[in-house]
Amino acid sequence: MVIARNNVRILGRGRQSVVFAHGYGCDQEVWQLMTPAFLADYRVVLFDHVGSGGSDLSAYHPERYSSLHAYAEDVLEVCEASCGDAPVFIGHSVGAIIGALAAARQPGYFSRLVMLTPSPCYLNDGDYPGGFSRQDIEDLLGLLDRNRLSWARLMAETIMGNPDRPALAEALAERFCRTDPLVARQFARVTFLSDHRAVLPAVSTETLVLQCAHDAIAPDAVGAYVQAHLPRGHLVRLKASGHCPHLSDPVETAAAILSWLADSHFSRARA
């Protein structure tokens, strides 16, 4: 049931499972430029959040998915159904926060976490520089309600952050438009209006935070905040620009993750 619900696919020849979780408005296809680097040594688990990609849309219930906690429960169920070991979890953007919620819910479940451009709270709050005012978020959500196509183009350009490579933003906008409208609206509100800063200290798993240059969605100060509030957090700043380095620079992104996973400490833990 879980396999079909979340459209789970398993690739690769390794023993160690690595689970990839996509961000808002996307699906597992966003990892296709990065996963080849993992296939020789890892068992790659791909899935779609309910309501996205090839997941079972009939399983999407607005009441259940009114918070990120339901998505975190799904992640744990996906891992139980497809991983025979303590998996590595790699999540992008809101997918990273979903992973943090899952790790806090079951401490020690994951062997390691990788949080790619995470933001636990998008709203500015006192000294916390989330990047957006409440009015900014409400305006964006209002545009999504009124004109989905215009919202998709605007958000894709902002999120991708590579104006010299417009094809990247165009492809991302197309992904946004493929999401069911009801899911797109609710998932946007759940994503951009949530505040999960308090969960970070409860994540005991060793965690890599990957931060990009010129990220308009999760600024550098947010990445530093996440690392500082994780008990075992490590921060690596990529040269890649924008919020989606797995699309704009998959080679650098994969290399940073693989280097971290292959260090001597992790090798001993896997032995």
Catalytic residue from among 17, 93, 119, 248: 93
Nearest to 248 by CA among 209, 208, 215, 219: 215
Is 74 a catalytic site residue?
no
Q: What single string gives the DSSP state of each residue in the chain?
A: -HHHHTT-EEE-S-SSEEEEE--TT--GGGGTTTGGGTTTTSEEEE---TTSTTS-GGG--TTGGGSHHHHHHHHHHHHHHH-SS--EEEEETHHHHHHHHHHHHSTTSSSEEEEES--SB-B-BTTB--SB-HHHHHHHHHHHHH-HHHHHHHHHHHHH--TT-HHHHHHHHHHHHHS-HHHHHHHHHHHHT-B-GGGGGG--S-EEEEEEET-SSS-HHHHHHHHHHSTTEEEEEEEEESS-HHHH-HHHHHHHHHHHHTSHHHHHHH-
φ and ψ at 37, to 5 degrees?
A: -70, -15
Nearest to 169 by CA among 222, 243, 92: 243
Catalytic residue from among 243, 246, 248, 249: 243
Is 215 a catalytic site residue?
yes
Catalytic residue from among 215, 241, 248, 249: 215
Is 243 a catalytic site residue?
yes
Those residues with Cβ within 8 angstroms of residue 34's Cβ, 6 or more apart along the chain or in another chain: 20, 246, 250, 253, 254
Residues recognised as catalytic = 93, 215, 243
